[in-house]
Structure 1
Amino acid sequence: MSSFFVELWESIFTPGTTPTLLLATNVTFAALQVVLGLMLYATYSIHFLILSILCGGLWYSINWFARELKVYQKQEEEKARRLAATLPALESSDSETEVEATNSVESIKKGGNVQPKPVATSSEIQPLEQQGELKLRVTDEVSPESVSSQDIKSSVSTEDEWEKVSENENEKDK
């Protein structure tokens, strides 16, 4: 009996469902159903009937989920087996990429330095030319020589800027 509790404690920290955890869950729900049934018989309260129905639904859904999880795990194992069966066929084909990767891994293991291969550049792509310089906005109160660029703040508000933009658009429309 003590080994069951040890296995139950370890199954809590194991991902997925374990037979020990499912057994403990089923025993607990069965005991809860017995208690709710006794309370319904003793009090004839509809509340215990509703709680019993909710408990039965939760009990069924937990077992359904555990069954679906087993089916999914079996499908994943089957996929892994099929992939393992096709993997040797893929490894036997000669591919430059696989050979280069194998050679570079082997040379790293041996302690050799791997030099990256130069990448061919296209003559179609031209670097962008710098269009102009950024100019600092200087207010009327401060001369540009006396203040660094970090100390300069514009006295013109954003609303004034938007008014200028809208005036320019109106002039273009005319």
Structure 2
Amino acid sequence: MTSFIENLWSSIFTAGPTPTLLLATNFSFAALQVVLLVLLLATYSIHFVFLSIISAGLWYSINWFAREVTQAQAQAAEQETSAEQESTEAKHSAQTDPRARGTPDGADSDTETEGLLDRKSTQARLSTPQSASASTTLQVPGSASEVRKRLSVSGDSSGYASTDSEWEKVDDSNGN
């Protein structure tokens, strides 16, 4: 029993529907249906019939949603494994093809990262002027390095704002 509770607690923090969580959910809804049936028989109130129908609909929808999430996770895992296989095949073919090594021109070189470094440096040079122009347009006009002081709401010009001083002002005004 303690292992079930531990598994239930850990399944709360696990993404997706876990078997332990689904078991606890189904058991809870079954117990709710039994309680609603007992209350219907004890009171003969139509309200418990409607509550039972609503509960059954929610129970079904939770199980349907759990099945859909499980199917989506299975499809994502399948796509991930196929993408890994394709990338592995692409790496293997790139290593065996002599034209694919080195620079993008196909010339053979000592390192395989020269073409990558050239592309990164080109991108960095292109992005530098854009960021400089964006930073100049974000500044507020006329406030280069000017520091502004907030105006005091209470009229006290000392600049010291504390709740204690506010309570002292209230006490002084009540005492007079």
TM-score (norm 2): 0.56
Counterpart in the other structure of 1:23: 23
Offset at 1:89?
A: 2.5
Of 113, 122, 141, 1:103 maps to: 113
Offset at 1:102?
A: 5.2
1:47/1:103 CA distance change after superposition, 3 Å: same
Counterpart in the other structure of 2:50: 50
Counterpart in the other structure of 1:127: none
How many residue pairs get matched? 114
Q: How does 1:75-154 map to 2 (within 5 A)?
A: 75-91=75-91, 92-93=93-94, 94=100, 96=103, 103=113, 116=121
Return the alpha-carbon distance in structure 1 between the equivalents of residues 38 and 112 of structure 2: 70
CA root-mean-square deviation: 3.4
- Residue deviations 1:31-60 (CA, integer Å, cap 9, x gap): 000000111111111100000000000000
Query: Higher helix proportion, which one?
Result: 2
Counterpart in the other structure of 2:148: none
1:14/1:102 CA distance change after superposition, 3 Å: farther
One-letter amino acid matched to 1:116: S
Kept in 1, the 8 Å contact 2:36–2:48? The answer is: yes
Offset at 1:116?
A: 3.2
1:41/1:80 CA distance change after superposition, 3 Å: same
Kept in 1, the 8 Å contact 2:33–2:55? The answer is: yes
Counterpart in the other structure of 2:13: 13
Kept in 1, the 8 Å contact 2:16–2:70? The answer is: no
Return the alpha-carbon distance in structure 2 between the equivalents of residues 118 and 48 of structure 1: 67
Return the alpha-carbon distance in structure 1 between the equivalents of residues 74 and 50 of structure 2: 36
Return the alpha-carbon distance in structure 2 between the equivalents of residues 102 and 38 of structure 1: 75
1:118/1:10 CA distance change after superposition, 3 Å: closer
- Structure 1: gaps spanning 5 or more residues: 108-114, 122-149, 151-174
Return the alpha-carbon distance in structure 1 between the equivalents of residues 79 and 34 of structure 2: 43
Counterpart in the other structure of 2:61: 61
Runs of 4+ in 1 over 4 A off after TM superposition: 99-102, 117-121
TM-score (norm 1): 0.56
Return the alpha-carbon distance in structure 1 between the equivalents of residues 82 and 46 of structure 2: 54
SS of aligned partner of 1:116: helix
1:53/1:119 CA distance change after superposition, 3 Å: closer
Q: Which has the larger radius of gyration?
A: 1
